[in-house]
């Protein structure tokens, strides 16, 4: 029985090792083929970012200012009431030294 099982197990192990080596070789080959494409992708992305970064910065500043105004304008009456109260309460104080 052992004379039949051991060669079959050895063949199975050899097949699995061969399959693993083939997979490693295939992975290395795919990485070598894809690496230049990744480098081209990074170069193109860098050039596009150099072109679009100033435009995006200006658009971002405009969005920031418009959002600030949208949030600030409704609070103007509250700010006006606070300024009036501050001026009235500041005028009512007496100086510490006369």
pLDDT class for 8, splitting at 50, 70, 90?
A: confident
Region of poorest pLDDT, from 1-5, 10-14, 28-32, 85-89: 1-5
pLDDT at 56: 95
**Is 46 part of a structural domain of the chain?**
yes
Tokens linked to 67: 């959002």
Coil, strand or helix at 93: coil
pLDDT at 2: 63
pLDDT at 26: 95
The H or E element that residue 3 is part of is helix 2-72
**Is 77 part of a structural domain of the chain?**
yes
**Is 98 part of a structural domain of the chain?**
no
Looking at the structure of the chain, the number of domains it has is: 1
Furthest C-alpha separation in the chain: 117
pLDDT at 95: 67
pTM: 0.46
Q: What separation in angstroms does the CA of 86 have from each of 74, 91, 92, 96?
A: 20, 8, 10, 18
Domain hosting residue 41, numbered range: 2-92
**Is 6 part of a structural domain of the chain?**
yes
pLDDT class for 88, splitting at 50, 70, 90?
A: confident
10-64 confidence digits (pLDDT tens): 888 999 999 999 999 999 999 998 888 888 999 999 999 999 999 999 999 999 9
């Amino acid at each position: 029985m052992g004379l039949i099982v051991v060669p079959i197990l050895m063949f199975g192990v050899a097949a699995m090792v061969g399959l693993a080596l083939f997979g490693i070789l295939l992975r290395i080959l795919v990485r070598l083929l894809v690496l230049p494409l990744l480098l081209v992708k990074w170069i193109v992305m860098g050039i596009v970012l150099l072109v679009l970064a100033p435009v995006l910065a200006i658009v971002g500043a405009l969005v920031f200012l418009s959002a600030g105004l949208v949030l600030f304008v409704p609070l103007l009456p509250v700010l006006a009431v606070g300024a009036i109260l501050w001026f009235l309460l500041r005028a009512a104080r007496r100086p510490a030294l006369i």
